[in-house]
Structures are given as structure tokens and as C-alpha cells.
Structure 1
Amino acid sequence: MSVKVFQTSEVQNLLKAASNIEGDQGNARAKQITHRLLSDLFKAVDDLDMTPDEIWAGVSYFNKLGQDGEAALLAAGLGLEKFLDIRMDAADREANISGGTSRTIEGPLYVAGAPVREGCTRIDLNPDADAGPLVIRGTVTGPDGEPVAGAVVEGWHANSKGFYSHFDPTGSQSDFNLRGAVKSGSDGKYEIRTLMPVGYGCPPHGATQQLLNALARHGNRPAHVHFFVNSANHRKLTTQINIEGDPLIWDDFAYATREDLIPPVAEKTGGETLGLKADAYKEIEFNIVLTPLIEGKDNQIVQRPRVSVEA
């Protein structure tokens, strides 16, 4: 069917009615967004000559996406979360904000409520025979290079099977395994003792991988560690580091890799004196630079549904 009906008064009136764009009641912003998204969808149906079968296949797909609980995962995999970062980067340039540690995506697997320690924390609560010890340490500073005391550095990552605690389908991890937060000292220093993560893939039978298969794309991520960094006088930083040497660093299905977020991995000894599982361990120095509040406000706070558990 090669007909074009989008511009007809019948369709335009339908869009106005469906979004109630001209009504006095309701949320004006919600109506504006709904009208625009519906308009873009209707026009795409016309332009691409989508069939009813294709439309209903899409509806069924969104049902499965919700049932699988993978909407946030798909948002990362289709570049939506990266796109938001690109827009925030552009807004910072427009506001002449520079010099901070690069932001990158949060991902869908954060859990609020991790215990906060002072200066140093160890977050590997469960034994993992396939993961060696890792120490991540660094200094939190402001844009002037001065140390930031009391900044909360929160990290989380997957185990050697590619699973995150609270989302592990095997049920083998304790609450907050490989998750924790630490306050920087008066010198701005922090340290997280953990195990080396690996990358992970989307659930093979989930809705996200189903679409990626249709696009001939893989759903894998390189090994990485996520961070939130909060300080009273600075903007919140959402970022992550990739583990140097991972073959997927520049082929991340979620597009989260950034050049300055691949710190070197050093070989160290003396882990037993630190309470690690072995004397030989790996160390990553990840220094963090925060940016100041904008007229006393933090414009980096993102409101989105997140899991929260009491430690």
C-alpha cells in the first residue's frame, strides 16, 4: 500500500484528539510530547509503508520488552542513553564547563543503599574462584586541582560470570556483593578493594537481544566498573571505566567507552597485607575531577526508577 494519509485533516485531527493537545485539562508537557511522538510514528508508518502485520509485531515486541523488564537495557543498546550524554556534553560546552572527568552511561543495574565507608572499602563479599583481586584507588579533586574531602565514590560491577548482585539469575550473590561506596579523605583519596570484573552480554532470549539479532548486532559489553560520585559543592558525576585490554572496549553495544576512561592496569604484590584473596593483584588508579554547581544547583541529577535495598 503506497498511499500517504499523514497530512490529511482526518489524521491530523486524530493526532490532536489522541493527545488532547488542544484541551484545557491534563499535563501540558505530556500532551506536547505525546503529540510529537505519535506524529513521528504515524509519519514513519506512511513513509516506510509499514504493514499492519509489522505494526502488531511491534506492539507484541513492546509487550515482551516490558515482561522481560529490559526497557532500560534497550535504551542503552539503541544509543538513547549515549545520546543523552552527547546532549549534556554539548550543554556543558555551551555553558563553558570543561575539565571534569568524562560522563558516560549509568546503565540499568544500579542498586541504591550500598553501605558507605570512610576512605577505603572492600566490596567482594562472595568468593569467586575465577576473579583475581583488584584495587581501584585515586584522588577526587575539583576543577582547580584541590582535593575534595567527603566526596562519596560509589562503585558497582559484575562478577566473573557477568552477573550483578540483585540481578543474578543464579541467586548466588549476597546483597551488595561487588557494590559499595566510600567517602574521600581530607586529601581527597579513596580506595575500593574488589575483584576483577568481566564483560557481560544481554540475556540471550530477552527482548533486547531479539531486536539486536534482527539488526545483526551483538549485545556484549567490555569489562567495566560503574561510578557515581557525589559532593556537596559539585555536580554529580555518572561515569564508568573500562578494563584495559578488553577486546570489546571499542565495540561496546551500549556505546559507553570514552578515551579518557580506560586507565592503565598495573601489576602489584602485597595484596595479602591488604586483606585481599591473593598476594598478587591488579591496581587501577582512577583520579576523578568534579565540576562545580551551576548557580548553586546540580543539573546532573537524573530522576529515573532505580532499585533500592536497605543494607
Structure 2
Amino acid sequence: MSVKVFETREVQNLLKAAANLHGANGNARITQITHRLLSDLFKAIDDLDMTPDEIWAGVTYFNKLGQDGEAALLAAGLGLEKYLDIRMDAEDREADIHGGTPRTIEGPLYVAGAPVRERVSKIDVDVDEDAAPLVIRGMVSGPDGKPLAGAVVECWHANSKGFYSHFDPTGAQSAFNLRGAVKTGSDGEYEFRTLMPVGYGCPPNGATQQLLNSLGRHGNRPAHVHFFVTSDRMRKLTTQINIEGDPLIWDDFAYATREELVPHVVEKTGGTALGLKDDAYKEIEFNIALTPLVQGKDNQVVNRPRASVTA
């Protein structure tokens, strides 16, 4: 059936009524967005000649997506989260904001509430025989390059099985394993003593991987480490680093890789003195540069639902 009905008065009136476009009640912004998105969907149905079977298959898919709790994962996998970063980068250029560590996606697996340590935190709570020791360290600075005291650096990553604490389907990890927060001293330095992460894949039977399979795409990420960095009078930074040498660095299903966020991995010794599991360990130096508030406001803060646990 290749008929075109989108432009008819009947359909246009239906769209206005469904969104309550001219109603006195309701949220004007939500009304505006709903009308636009619903209009785009209706037009796509016309343009692509979507069948009722296809439409109801889509409705069924969204039911599964909600049941699996994977909407945020799908947002990363379809490039929506990356697109938001692209827009924020463009806004910075328009506002003549340059420099600073590049942002990249947050992902769906942050948990608020990790204990904040002074300058150094050892975050490998659980024994992991398959993971080598890793130290991530660096300095947090402002636009002038000087160290920022009192900045809070939060870090979280997966274990050697590709699972995050609080989201581990095996239930094997302790609270806040491989998650931590550090407050910098006068030298602006921070340090996490941890274990080498690996990448992860989408749940194989979940809604996200179901759609990716239909698109002929994989659902895997390279090994990476997430960061939130905050400081007074500076904008919050949301970013992550990839582990150098991972074969998926430039084939990340979530599109989070940026060239500036692949720091070198250095072989070191002396880990025993640092409380690491072995004397030989790997070290990543990741220095972080923050950018100032914009007219007194932090326009990088994103309000979205996040898990929170009391340590």
C-alpha cells in the first residue's frame, strides 16, 4: 500500500489533537516535542510505506526494551549519546571555548556514592586472578594549566569478565568494586590503584543486541575507564579513556573513542610497595584539564537517572 496520507487535513488534525498542540493545559515544551516526533514518525510511515505488522513489531520491541532496562544502552549503541557530545562540542566552538580534556559519553553504568579518598584510592575491592594490576594517575588543572586543589575525580570500570559492580549478572562483585573517587591536593594530583579492565558486550539476549543483530552490527566495546571530574568554578567533565592496544578502539559500538583519550600504557615495577597484587604493573598517566563556567553556569551538567548506593 503506497498511499500518502500524511499531508491530509485528517492526519494533521489527528497530530494536533494527539499532542494537544493548542490546548491550554499541559507542558508547552513537552507538547512541542511530542508533536514534532509524532509528526516525524507518521511521515516516515508514509515515506517508507511501513506495514501494520512492522509498526506492531516496533511496539513489541519497545516493550522488551523497557523490560530489559536497556534504553540507555541502546541510546549509546545508536549514536544518540555521541550525537549529544557532537552538539556540545559545537556549542563550545560557537562560544569560543577551547582546550580542556575532550568529553565523551557517560554510558549507563555509573553508580553515585563511592567513598571519596584524599589523593589516592585503591579500588580493587575483590580479588580477580585474571586481571593485572594497574595504576591510573595524573594531574587536574584549570585553563591556566595550574593544578586544581580540591577537584573530585570519580572513576569506574569493568572487571576481567567485562562486568561492572552493581550491574554484574553473576552477583560476584562487592559494592563499589572498581569504583572510586579521589579529591586532589594542592598539587592537583590523583591516583587510582586498580586492575586492568576488559571491554564488554551487550547482553546477548537483550533488546539492544536484538536490534544490532538486525542491523548486522556487533555490540562490543573496547577496554575503557570512565571519569567524572568536578571542581569549583569549573565545568563538570564527563569522559573516558580507552586502553591502548585494544583491537576494538576504533570499532566501539558506542562511538566513544577520541584520539586524545587513548593514553600510553607503561610497564612499571614496584607495585608491591603500593599495595598492588604484583610487583610488576601497568601505569597510565591521564592528565585532565577543566574549562571554566559559562556566565557563571555549568552547561555540561546532564540531568538523567543514575543509580545511587550508600557506601
For residues 193 and 185 of structure 2, the distance between their equivalents in structure 1, rounded to whole angstroms, comes to 16
Number of the residue aligned with 2:182: 182
Number of the residue aligned with 1:166: 166
SS of 1:13's equivalent in the other structure is helix
Aligned-partner residue type, residue 67 of structure 2: Q
For residues 233 and 188 of structure 1, the distance between their equivalents in structure 2, rounded to whole angstroms, comes to 15
How big is the shift at 1:232?
1.1
For residues 184 and 121 of structure 2, the distance between their equivalents in structure 1, rounded to whole angstroms, comes to 11
Number of the residue aligned with 1:17: 17
Number of the residue aligned with 2:282: 282
Trace 1:1-311 onto structure 2 (pairs within 5 A): 1-311=1-311
Q: For structure 2, which runs of at least 5 residues remain unmatched after alignment?
A: none
How big is the shift at 1:11?
0.2
For residues 164 and 158 of structure 1, the distance between their equivalents in structure 2, rounded to whole angstroms, comes to 5
SS of 2:89's equivalent in the other structure is helix
For residues 233 and 10 of structure 2, the distance between their equivalents in structure 1, rounded to whole angstroms, comes to 54
How big is the shift at 1:272?
0.2
For residues 256 and 111 of structure 2, the distance between their equivalents in structure 1, rounded to whole angstroms, comes to 19
Aligned-partner residue type, residue 193 of structure 2: R
SS of 2:237's equivalent in the other structure is strand
SS of 1:134's equivalent in the other structure is strand
SS of 1:169's equivalent in the other structure is coil
For residues 183 and 13 of structure 2, the distance between their equivalents in structure 1, rounded to whole angstroms, comes to 56
How big is the shift at 1:294?
0.8
SS of 1:235's equivalent in the other structure is coil
How big is the shift at 1:52?
0.1
For residues 119 and 75 of structure 1, the distance between their equivalents in structure 2, rounded to whole angstroms, comes to 34
For residues 122 and 300 of structure 1, the distance between their equivalents in structure 2, rounded to whole angstroms, comes to 28
SS of 2:239's equivalent in the other structure is strand
The structure 1 segments of at least 4 consecutive aligned residues displaced by more than 3 Å after TM superposition are none
For residues 233 and 192 of structure 2, the distance between their equivalents in structure 1, rounded to whole angstroms, comes to 23
How big is the shift at 1:12?
0.2
Aligned residues: 311
How big is the shift at 1:185?
1.0
SS of 1:234's equivalent in the other structure is coil
Q: For structure 1, which runs of at least 5 residues remain unmatched after alignment?
A: none
For residues 97 and 200 of structure 1, the distance between their equivalents in structure 2, rounded to whole angstroms, comes to 34
How big is the shift at 1:253?
0.1
Aligned-partner residue type, residue 96 of structure 1: D
Considering only aligned residues, what root-mean-square deviation do their CA atoms show, in Å? 0.3
**Cα deviation digits, residues 250-296 of structure 1 (max 9, x gap):** 00000000000000000000000000000000000000000001111
SS of 1:294's equivalent in the other structure is coil
SS of 2:91's equivalent in the other structure is helix
How big is the shift at 1:300?
0.6
How big is the shift at 1:205?
0.3
For residues 44 and 99 of structure 2, the distance between their equivalents in structure 1, rounded to whole angstroms, comes to 41
Aligned-partner residue type, residue 78 of structure 1: L
For residues 158 and 87 of structure 1, the distance between their equivalents in structure 2, rounded to whole angstroms, comes to 28
SS of 1:187's equivalent in the other structure is coil
Identity rate, percent: 82
Aligned-partner residue type, residue 158 of structure 1: A
Aligned-partner residue type, residue 139 of structure 1: M
Aligned-partner residue type, residue 99 of structure 2: G
